[in-house]
């Protein structure tokens, strides 16, 4: 096991956790942090620290960390700013290995508070501790059962790890994951980064076996060279997806009052990141879809995309979107046209995008999908229109054609058939991805919504896969896959 | 009443409708079209035409349109391609004023079929009828109770009218409207546009009192000059939002097999549209959000945006997004800083974006919103984070802290309070928009989802307003408003 894995173990897999400033009052942050650790089923001892309480959630409260009987791996610090440095000193003396300083009111406020932040850093470094924050929302490690975070959400385990200089941006990402049943491995709200920097966490994630994709929200870095050098080490192994905040002058000013960092010249930052192999995204949604795609789809061997569609307009828009992503939408090989002529009614498009037109059967769709993904002419498929059962139910439920008893009969008879068709198609998609090692990204406006009865989405999300809500989302995700694949190919060739 | 309004009355407000090729078999398009007309409660006589049926849905079936006893305003044609021209002739002789030709297999297939399409056009023009299609999915008029469409969705009445050269793109738009409770006035799937062109419909929508916004999906126009001249007439009165399909070479090829049109040089097309005052969008989502925003928000007097946020990261991203939209995020005037200092805890951002930081109360949010929207320094507000009750319920339902009976008690006691807070805030937002005549666009990731219990969204959607899912969506919508407002100002100054 490498040094960095060893060093961060107390943060992500602690054996015991103290919450300094734990509170019994639901309005306080010290309540939320302790609550979420309990709610997340942390398996080791939890020590609430508060001189004015005896017991919170049935846990014994200690007046100070020094009085905790056993050792403490990780301490969450949620006390007012003036008490933070004394708390850090107590942690150091106690032998705590990692601290997470939730408290705000440091470098993001002004020059005086920035001095305090520097003093805080010196104290931490005296003891050689890891320190997250200050001015952050906490840390999460799904396999370590550490939900030491202010945000009240508990995603399932997965292979995406996040470092975010904004707690609420990280929370938005995880919230979207919860909505679409996408799991996460780790999340650190890194805040002002007085001591432990985002690139330290990226270095760890790069070596962490439970992380396959790194998602980062960054407003600024205090040492550009160290940041880029870390990126260079990590990107040949794993995709690092970066959303930069403060890319405009006004946005940069907002960063200063948010995390106290200097946003810097973003065109320089972006160019350096890109050269170092990072995947740059330009919105919150883009960050989510890119990370979820890298975590669940194979890298394509090239950038030639086959598009299979049930609707002509979506086919046109999907083609435009792919081309704008730098992908190629090549002509359909003659032998595929001949194969498809055998089972598609004459009005089909006879080209790529393959528009099935009037042949709207599940069999035709599956067969076409197979022909395209297995063809040497294509490195991946964007499939437009998948999942019919949700819309079928909507139709049956909203038609005069069925009287109430009929409706139940039709539903009981037809819905399982429609659902079985959705399940079969999606299982086939999963199978074809495995067999061919090529990505298949499906988009649908009826099957992208995470409703309870959406069998298509449920089948795919079992393997962490999404149904993209529009052709643009699918094309964009394919673009990221292809660009990163090209980078990896280039690096490996050197 | 103008000529164009009179001319299109039989299409959108017919007194009687015939469906030529109506079918009793659910697999057929002739079933869906008739079904949806019945389901949509068309109030005049409906005449199914089919030589092999006697009765469908309890309606008497006629062997041919000539044998229908009364007059027919509108005929939907759903027969095989070779029977279309004879059907059109029968319609002409019967005195039908508008036909909608659903049938595909014309100009989109090849040169021979294009000749057939030209013959079809000549026949229609001999009788002076309006003719939509061929190769289309139908027509919809919510106030006319005409749901003569293949897509099985029935939106509520509203002021957005659509013309789309793709049926499924139009269907996606309306589907999104159904999801977010956004209404529509009219929808025409214009297909190959053999006779009636998209600009004819735009001209009608421009004069139609029930239409306040026009949304168009266009792959190509057969007469660029006529199209641009119509745009020039309409855009000074109403926003025309255009999504162009086939903006890439590969996308253009896909258009040819889809609607048989030539996509043309899209940079020329876009520049001409922009100069004529159209609002250009670049994705399906963009088209939906732009149309829904124009339909529900006032036009700003300028491009200066105040941003009010509950989260620093969202504030940074919202600022970046506004600036990239060409909006200005000016500094907060000194008197507003002083006013806010009175009720906001010291860590607030003291600038625009106004990050409330630790003062996360509803009162502080409302007060801040009022100060910013009423200030002469701002033409509109982007508000990040609104609606707490949905997330509050999630918290109560997912916490060990409440035993089951407690949970019910907390829910019963607190949920109505949280919902009342959401309702009040959103009512206040609606009131402030009315009072100031300025747009307020709110974004939230917890309150953007259209769930049954989302009081915030329900309150806003009563007036056709959305909660945008990310800061980008809100900023983009504000950008469209400001750009179009600037165009209107310029036009009026001439």
Determine whether the interchain pair A152/B470 forms a contact, defined as Cβ–Cβ distance below 8 Å.
no
Chain A CA closest to residue B247: A320
Which residues neighbour B82 within 8 Å (Cβ) at sequence distance 6 or greater?
none
What is the rounded average pLDDT of the residues B256-264? 70
Q: Would you call A313 an interface residue with chain B, using a CB distance cutoff of 8 Å?
A: yes
Q: Which two tokens stand for residue A429?
A: 């998609």
Q: Give the lowest-confidence range in A391-405, B315-329, B468-482.
A: A391-405
Report the share of chain A in percent with pLDDT over 70: 99
Chain A closest CA to B169's CA: distance in Å?
6
Q: How far apart are CA B470 and CA B468, in angstroms?
A: 6
Per the CB < 8 A criterion, the answer to whether B188 and B171 are in contact is: no
Query: Residue B160 pairs with which residues in a beta bridge?
Result: B184, B213
Query: Residue B306 pairs with which residues in a beta bridge?
Result: B381
DSSP assignment of B402-425 equals S-HHHHHHHHHHHHHHHHHHHHHH
Q: How far apart are CA A48 and CA A27, in angstroms?
A: 17
What is the rounded average pLDDT of the residues A222-227? 94
Q: Is the pLDDT of residue B38 over 80?
A: yes
- For residue B411, the model assigns a pLDDT of 84
Per the CB < 8 A criterion, the answer to whether A101 and A167 are in contact is: no
pLDDT in tens, B445-485: 888 888 888 999 999 999 999 999 999 999 999 999 999 99
Q: Which residue has 């919504």 as its token pair?
A: A449
Using alpha carbons, list the distances in angstroms from residue B108 to A212, A348, B113, B261.
46, 10, 8, 8
Q: Which of B109, B167, B469 sits opposite A347 (nearest CB)?
A: B109
- For residue A426, the model assigns a pLDDT of 94
**What angle is formed at CA B29 by the lines to CA B23 and CA B32, rounded to 5 degrees?**
80
Of residues A106, A166, A174, the one with CA closest to residue A136 = A166
* pLDDT range class, residue B391, cuts 50, 70, 90: confident
Determine whether the interchain pair B351/A324 forms a contact, defined as Cβ–Cβ distance below 8 Å.
no
Q: Would you call A156 an interface residue with chain B, using a CB distance cutoff of 8 Å?
A: no
Q: Is the pLDDT of residue B77 over 80?
A: yes
DSSP assignment of A233-259 equals HHTTTS-EEEEES--SHHHHHHHHHHH
Q: Give the lowest-confidence range in A155-164, B8-17, B117-126, B405-414.
A: B405-414
- Of A214 and B108, which is predicted with more confidence? A214
Q: Would you call A106 an interface residue with chain B, using a CB distance cutoff of 8 Å?
A: no
* pLDDT range class, residue B405, cuts 50, 70, 90: confident
Q: How far apart are CA B88 and CA B481, in angstroms?
A: 43
- For residue A186, the model assigns a pLDDT of 98
Q: Which residue has 């309540």 as its token pair?
A: A31
- For residue A1, the model assigns a pLDDT of 81
Please write down the HEC assignment for all residues of B329-374.
CCCCCHHHHHHHHCCCCCCCCCCCCEECCCCCCHHHHHHHHHHHHH
What is the rounded average pLDDT of the residues B149-178? 94
- For residue B1, the model assigns a pLDDT of 81
Q: How far apart are CA A218 and CA B313, in angstroms?
A: 10
pLDDT in tens, B282-305: 999 999 999 999 999 999 999 999
Residue numbers of B between 409 and 468 with CB closer than 8 Å to A:
445-446, 449
- For residue A254, the model assigns a pLDDT of 86
pLDDT in tens, A9-61: 999 999 999 999 999 998 899 999 999 999 999 999 999 999 999 999 999 99
Q: Give the lowest-confidence range in A58-62, A363-367, B330-334.
A: A363-367
Chain A CA closest to residue B399: A39
What is the rounded average pLDDT of the residues A281-304? 97
Q: What value does the mean pLDDT of chain B take?
A: 93
What is the rounded average pLDDT of the residues A85-100? 98
- For residue B189, the model assigns a pLDDT of 97
- Residue B351's CB: how many other CB atoms inside 10 A? 20
Q: Is the pLDDT of residue B328 over 80?
A: yes
pTM of the model: 0.95
pLDDT in tens, A425-480: 999 999 999 999 999 999 998 888 888 889 999 999 999 999 999 999 999 999 99
- For residue B288, the model assigns a pLDDT of 98
Q: How far apart are CA B282 and CA A324, in angstroms?
A: 11
Q: In chain A, what residues touch B30 (CB-CB under 8 Å)?
A: none
- For residue B452, the model assigns a pLDDT of 85
Q: What value does the mean pLDDT of chain A take?
A: 93
Residue numbers of B between 44 and 63 with CB closer than 8 Å to A:
57
Q: Which of A170, A285, A395 sits opposite B152 (nearest CB)?
A: A395
Q: Which of B104, B258, B319 sits opposite A251 (nearest CB)?
A: B319
Please write down the HEC assignment for all residues of A285-349.
HHHHHHHHHHCCCCCCCCCEEEEEECCHHHHHHHHHHHHHCCCECCCCCHHHHHHHHCCCCCCCC
Chain A closest CA to B20's CA: distance in Å?
19
* pLDDT range class, residue A212, cuts 50, 70, 90: very high
DSSP H helical ranges for B40-110: 84-94
- For residue A210, the model assigns a pLDDT of 98
Which residues neighbour A248 within 8 Å (Cβ) at sequence distance 6 or greater?
A266, B319, B320, B323, B324
CA atoms in the 13 A half-sphere facing the CB of A7? 14
- For residue B263, the model assigns a pLDDT of 63
- For residue A263, the model assigns a pLDDT of 63
- For residue B264, the model assigns a pLDDT of 66
């Amino acid at each position: 096991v490498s040094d960095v894995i060893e060093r961060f173990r107390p943060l992500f897999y602690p054996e015991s956790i103290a919450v300094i400033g734990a509170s019994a009052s639901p309005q306080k942050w010290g309540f939320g942090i302790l609550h979420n650790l309990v709610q997340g089923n942390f398996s080791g001892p939890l020590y609430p620290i508060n001189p004015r309480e005896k017991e919170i959630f049935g846990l014994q409260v200690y007046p100070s960390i020094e009085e905790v009987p056993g050792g403490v791996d990780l301490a969450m610090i949620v006390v007012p700013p003036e008490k933070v440095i004394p708390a850090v000193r107590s942690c150091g003396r106690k032998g705590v290995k990692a601290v997470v300083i939730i408290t705000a009111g440091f470098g993001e406020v002004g020059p005086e508070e920035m001095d305090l932040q520097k003093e805080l850093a010196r104290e931490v470094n005296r003891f050689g501790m890891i320190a997250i924050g200050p001015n952050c929302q906490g840390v999460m490690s799904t396999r370590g059962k550490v939900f030491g975070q202010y945000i009240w959400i508990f995603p399932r385990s997965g292979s995406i790890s996040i470092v975010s200089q904004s707690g609420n941006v990280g929370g938005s990402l995880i919230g979207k994951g919860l909505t679409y049943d996408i799991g996460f491995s780790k999340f650190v709200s890194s805040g002002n980064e007085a001591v432990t920097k985002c690139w330290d966490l990226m270095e760890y994630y790069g070596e962490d076996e439970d992380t396959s994709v790194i998602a980062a929200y960054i407003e600024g870095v205090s040492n550009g060279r160290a940041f880029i050098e870390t990126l260079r080490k990590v990107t040949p192994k794993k995709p690092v997806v970066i959303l930069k905040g403060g890319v405009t002058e006004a946005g940069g000013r907002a960063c200063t009052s948010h995390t106290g960092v200097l946003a810097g010249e973003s065109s320089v930052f972006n160019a350096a990141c890109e050269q170092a192999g990072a995947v740059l995204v330009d919105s919150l949604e883009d960050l989510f879809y890119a990370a979820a795609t890298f975590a669940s789809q194979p890298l394509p061997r090239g950038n030639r995309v086959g598009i299979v569609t049930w609707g002509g307009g979506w086919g046109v828009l999907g083609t435009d979107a792919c081309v704008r992503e730098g992908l190629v939408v090549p002509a359909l090989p003659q032998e595929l046209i001949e194969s498809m002529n055998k089972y598609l009614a004459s009005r089909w498009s006879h080209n790529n995008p393959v528009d099935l037109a009037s042949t709207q059967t599940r069999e035709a769709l599956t067969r076409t999908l197979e022909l395209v993904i297995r063809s040497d002419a294509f490195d991946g498929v964007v499939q437009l229109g998948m999942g019919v059962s949700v819309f079928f139910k909507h139709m049956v439920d909203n038609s005069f054609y069925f009287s109430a008893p009929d409706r139940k009969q039709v539903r009981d008879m037809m819905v399982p058939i429609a659902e079985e068709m959705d399940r079969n198609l999606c299982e086939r998609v999963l199978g074809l991805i495995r067999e061919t090692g090529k990505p298949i990204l499906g988009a649908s406006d009826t099957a992208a919504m995470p409703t309870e009865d959406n069998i298509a989405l449920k089948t795919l999300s079992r393997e962490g896969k999404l149904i993209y809500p529009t052709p643009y989302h699918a094309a964009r995700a394919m673009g990221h896959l292809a660009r990163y694949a090209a980078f990896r190919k280039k690096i490996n060739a050197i």
